[in-house]
Amino acid sequence: MPDFCSIKNALESGGFFAKKTWKISPDAYRLSPEEIAELENIGTAAIAFYRALEKLYLASAENRSLLRNGKLFAPWVSEILNRGKPPRLVAHQSARALAGTLPPVIRPDLLVCEDGFALTELDSVPGGIGLTAFLNRLYACGNADAMPQLFLDAVTRGAARSRVAIAVSDEADDYRAEFEQLAETLRAQGAEISVCHPNETEISENGVFLRGKKIDVLYRFFELFDLGNVNAANALFTAAERGNVVVTPPMRPFQEEKSALALLHHPTLFPFWTETLGEKNFSLIKKIVPETWLVEPLPEHGLPACAVLHAPTVGGRAIRNWSELAAAGRRDRELVLKASGFDETAWGARSVTVGTDVSQRDWALALENALNRARERNSFYVLQRFHKPAKKEFRIFDAEGNAVPAFGRVRICPYYFVVRDEFSRERVHLGGALCTFCPPDKKIIHGMSDAVLAPCAL
């Protein structure tokens, strides 16, 4: 068991998340065998979901039937996923060179509830990779050295001798130190990998270069809403489309929208999800993803007389106007409101409002803000059913460095790496998982000064 001083000194020397602190545990968080088996199944379902989402988006954009043996047309899906995106980015995500490309690292946010996991987000540009790899080594969790190599295999698609640059934007600068650690570990093993700012790269018709050397793979650690701050974004689109560089995660905004979880719960699309995901994967995803709805303004003349909103109910009945939900009592506000994706507030819990955690007036204002952003910026919010995490016991170090029991609520972030096997088939590997243990009074579980960050013992 690592002692308090050794863990504290190791984290400080690593420089993770400068100017931010969190509490420390003497232990890795232990998952049950059933939970670990569930994590493996979730990884398989997650990659199936991303493949199905690509099929859904492209068929919708081309107004083709979504079904192999039937007719189901949904052009509105691509209209929703394209809304608010720059035209060049919309064109790029359908480019032939990007066909079939998946995020190399997939990280769901899983709340540990009394009845199992609740998946609140599916992140394809996740932070915490380097930190989790570091903690795995520090706490000697399983194959502690596996995660860096899995990351390299995933971003290079197994291609030997690839030169990799990890581009970290100003917006994501808090994560630079962990990527520096990750790159340093991989360079010690002979990899050609470095960390840079996106604007340090030079792009020509011959490819992408960093400090005079041609880059094979650019690992993009910046959100697509931040492309306006990337000097050569259009040139990067062209280089990726010509095959002069692999940009990964691919610049495909439909893979980064929380609204995709609302599409998962849209009843019109159930035949598509069942056919494409298969009954096992679809059942698992429906079970762990809370009900999710898109907050979309009403048409100018309102709904037809017989129509209702695809939205939460109020008093057990369907609603026809968002004002009914805005005026809902506390019992009907067990909901989470958050920005969908292509928005500067869509990460780090900055846009999140928990309905039961605010007054009815503040809830109504938050809902109106969501509708206004959709009208003015085509930037959607989603509503998600709130699932309360279970109360768990975990040891932490107190201020004097003594290990003491504590009660709190837990979020598990497993890191799945999409790696090609010897037959060039893409498989998901669970490389590690990060536990966030928060005080029991916190409604939103995320990294904070009074939370514990610890690796999971898999």
pLDDT at 300 over 70: yes
Q: How confident is the model at residue 142 (pLDDT cuts 50, 70, 90)?
A: confident
Q: What is the pLDDT of residues 419-450, one digit of tens each?
A: 987 777 889 999 999 999 999 987 777 666 78
List of residues 6+ apart from 103 with CB closer than 8 A:
50, 124, 125, 248, 249, 250, 255, 418
Q: What is the pLDDT of residues 150-175, one digit of tens each?
A: 999 999 987 878 999 999 999 899 89
**What sign does the dihedral 85-86-91-94 (CA atoms) show?**
negative
pLDDT at 378 over 90: no
CB 298 within 8 A of CB 326: no
Alpha helices (runs of H) in 232-307, residue ranges in sequence order: 233-241, 259-264, 270-277, 279-288
Average pLDDT rounded to a whole number, residues 379-383 = 93
Query: To the nearest 10°, the Cα dihedral for 292, 297, 300, 301?
Result: 40
CB 216 within 8 A of CB 245: yes
Q: How confident is the model at residue 278 (pLDDT cuts 50, 70, 90)?
A: very high
Q: What is the pLDDT of residues 210-267, one digit of tens each?
A: 999 999 999 999 999 989 889 889 999 999 999 999 999 999 999 999 999 999 999 9
Percent of the chain with pLDDT over 70: 98
List of residues 6+ apart from 430 with CB closer than 8 A:
39, 40, 43, 414, 415, 416, 458
CB 273 within 8 A of CB 262: no
Q: What is the pTM of this model?
A: 0.95
Q: What is the spatial distance between Cα 308 and Cα 303, in angstroms, rounded to a whole number?
A: 7
CB 243 within 8 A of CB 235: no
Neighbours of 216 (CB within 10 A): 18
CB 411 within 8 A of CB 435: yes
What's phi and psi for 86, nearest 5 deg? -60, 140
pLDDT for 344 equals: 76
Average pLDDT rounded to a whole number, residues 4-31 = 82
Q: How confident is the model at residue 12 (pLDDT cuts 50, 70, 90)?
A: confident
To which residue do tokens 């298969």 refer? 278
**1-5, 208-212, 285-289, 355-359: segment of lowest average pLDDT:** 1-5
Q: What is the spatial distance between Cα 142 and Cα 144, in angstroms, rounded to a whole number?
A: 5
C-alpha distances in Å from residue 111, one per residue of 221, 259, 405, 428: 25, 19, 20, 21
